[in-house]
Copies of this chain bind each other. A is one copy, B any other.
C-alpha cells in the first residue's frame, strides 16, 4: 500500500516550489491516514523527514513507479487517481481521497502540471508546430518586387560581391573610406546618376532610384546614407533648385562622384524649425558676388553628411540679404574644400565625432566666415537677382517660396522609409529564421522546442512581419503617387510622405527592438548585425524631419482637407455632420455590429476598413471640434495646437493606418497566385486586427465596439500569429535578401 504514496513522496522532494511549511502539510496528511496500518504510516512519515532526505536511488524508484502507470493509463488526471492506480485499485485507498484533493490544493500546483513531471510526453501541440513551405516563395518575391525586379537584381548582384563584405573594425577613419569606395563602385556602375536627366549623363529614372535606395538598404546603411547625401541631397538640390547652367556644370561630376558634396541646411539652433536658420548670403552688386556668413556658433551647419571628410562643395541654405533687406531662405553652391582636401579660406569644418550609428558617414559642422562666391552660384530656379541687382521671384512670399523649394526635395521622405523598411526586413529575416531553429525548453522530458512556437515570441514578431508587408505596398503606392503627381495633389502627397516617413520609421524602431530581444544574447553581438540595423536606423526617426513634428504637419493637413471637403458648412456644422454621419452609417448598417464576434465578420476586410475609416473620421472631427472650442474660448491658436498635440498624433496615425490598409488590400486584389494570395490575406488580417487590438481602448471608449468583440479580436490575433508562424520563414525568404547581406553569423552556423 505504501507504493500508492510514491508520487506524493517524489513530489515532496523534487518539486522546487514546495516550502518547508508545505512539507509539513504533507506530513500532516500522512499522519491523518488512520486507515493505514501503523507500520506503513511510520515508514511513510520517515520518508518525509526534512532532516533525513531519501537517497537519489529511492527518488528515482518513486518516479519510475509513477511513470509506468502514466505510460499505461491515459486517463489518469489527478494525483489521487495516479496513486489509486498504484495501490492496485485497492478500495481501501478511497479513504484517502478527500485528503488528497485538499492537499493538491494546498500544495499550490495544478494537478496536471504535477503529473507532467512523471510523464515522457507525447509530442505536444506546441512541439509539433513547424515551418511549412506551403506556397511558392519565388512567386511571392515577384509580387513584392513588382516592376522593380530588374534593378533589385542588379543591385543585389553588386552587393554580394566579395568587395562588399561588411566592414567590421571599429576604425572610423577606415570605415569612412570603405563606404566612400563602395559609393564609387556604385557610381562606376552608373547607379549614382540614375535619377539625373539623360542629357547630363544620367539614367533619367527616378523610379529606379527609389528602388535602388531600397535594395541598397539590405546592405550597410552608412553606405545608403552616404550615397543618398551625394546623389540624392547634393545632386537633387542642384537638379531641382538650380537651372540649366548648374545642371551642365555639376550633374555629371556629381553622378560620377568626381565632385563629392553636401546638403547644408540644418543649423545647430535651427533643426526642426528650419525656417529659423540664420546663415546669410549677402549680395554685392558691384562685384556680382554673394558673401556666405555664419553669424554665431549656434548658426553653423551641423550634422552635414559628407562634410567631415569628402565633400568639396555644398548646397548651402541661407537668408539672401540684398541692400540690407532679408529676402528669405535661398540656396547657394559653396565650395568648402580645396583640391588637396583642406578647407577653403573662411570655411571651418569640424567633425561631429562618434555617433550611435552610421559611423561610415562623415558628418560634420561647417562654419562660414564671409566666404565669397560668384553670383551664378545661387541656385536660381525659384528666385534670382536680376541684372540690375534686384531680387526676383515668381513666388513673392518668402515662406511659400521656401516650402516650394523644400517640396521638390520630398523624395527624401520616400527614400528614407523605404530604406528603413528594408532594414526591418533584414532584422525580421534574421530573427525569424533563427527563432525557427533555436530551441529552448519543452514539455517535461521531451525535446526542446523552437522558440518561434511560443506564443509570446509569435506575439512579438508576427505583427511586424505583417506590418512589413503592409508597409511595403503602402510605400510603393506613395512612390507611385509622387512620381505621377499632378500639381494640385502635391500638398496631399507631401503630407502622406511626411506621415509615412514617421509611421514607418517608428514601426521599424519597434520592430527591430523586438528582433533584438527575440534572439537574446545573440542579438547583442555585432556579428549578428541587429546591432548595426538598430543603431543605424535609430536616427531615421529624427532626420529628414523629426517624426513628432512631421506628424503634427500631417494632422494639420488633414484638418485642412477636412474643411475643404465640407467647405459650405460652418465649422460646428461640419463637425456635427461628419461625426453624426459616421456614427449613423455604422449604426444603420450593423445594428449589432458593436458586439458581433463571429469569425467571418472579424476576418472581413469590410469590417476592418470600416473600423479604420470610422476611427480616422471620428478622431479628426473630435480634434477639429476641440481646437475650435479652445480658440473660441479665447485661447491663442498657438497654445490651442499645443494643447491638442497629443490628439493630433492620433489624427495623423489613424489617417495613415487607413491608407496602409487600403493599399494592402489593393495590392492583394491584383495577385493571381492563390498560394501567395492566401498568405497575404492572412497578413492583412493580422495587420488589421492587431491595430484594432492596439486601439481597443479607443474603440471601447467610443462605443464602436464592446468588450465581447475586443476580446474576440484578441483571440483571433493570437490564432493568426499561431497560423502565420508556419509560413513565417518562407515569408521572410520572399523579401529576397541575399544571405551575405543579412550577414548574421547565427544563420550560417550549424545549430
Contact = CB atoms under 8 A, between A and B. Distances in A.
B564 A273 contact: no
Contact of A568 (B102, B125, B172, B711): B102
A59 interface: yes
Interface stretch (A83-91, A106-114, A133-141, A417-425): A106-114
Nearest to A561: B108
Nearest to A59: B396
Contacts of A71: none
B568 A539 contact: no
A639 B105 contact: no
A645 B721 CA distance: 13
A121 B638 contact: yes
A701 B701 contact: no
A643 interface: yes
B646 A456 contact: yes
A370 interface: no
A414 B270 CA distance: 43
Contact count band on A: 35 or more
B636 A125 contact: yes
A353 B521 CA distance: 13
A325 B122 CA distance: 26
Interface string A426-439: 00000000000001
Contact of A534 (B121, B356, B456, B459): B356
Contacts of A521: 266, 271, 302-303, 539, 542-543
A602 to B, nearest CB: 16
Contacts of A124: 636, 638-639
A14 interface: yes
A453 B642 contact: yes
Contacts of A636: 116, 121-122, 124-126, 443
B396 A54 contact: yes
A306 interface: no
A440 interface: yes
Given A102-B568, A113-B637, A354-B525, A272 B440 contact: yes
Contacts of A352: 525
A687 to B, nearest CB: 18
A325 B57 CA distance: 11
A751 B357 CA distance: 25
A110 B637 CA distance: 9
A491 B645 CA distance: 46
A739 interface: no
Contacts of A400: 13-16
A303 B395 CA distance: 62
A110 B628 contact: yes
Given A108-B563, A639-B124, A355 B526 contact: yes
Given A106-B567, A354-B168, A645-B455, A395 B638 contact: no
A384 interface: no
A538 B515 CA distance: 12
B108 A16 contact: no
B271 A520 contact: yes
Contacts of A570: 101, 105
Contacts of A170: 170-172, 354
B526 A542 contact: no
A346 interface: no
A293 interface: no
A560 B17 contact: yes
B105 A567 contact: yes
5 contacts: A105-B567, A108-B560, A356-B530, A443-B638, A646-B718
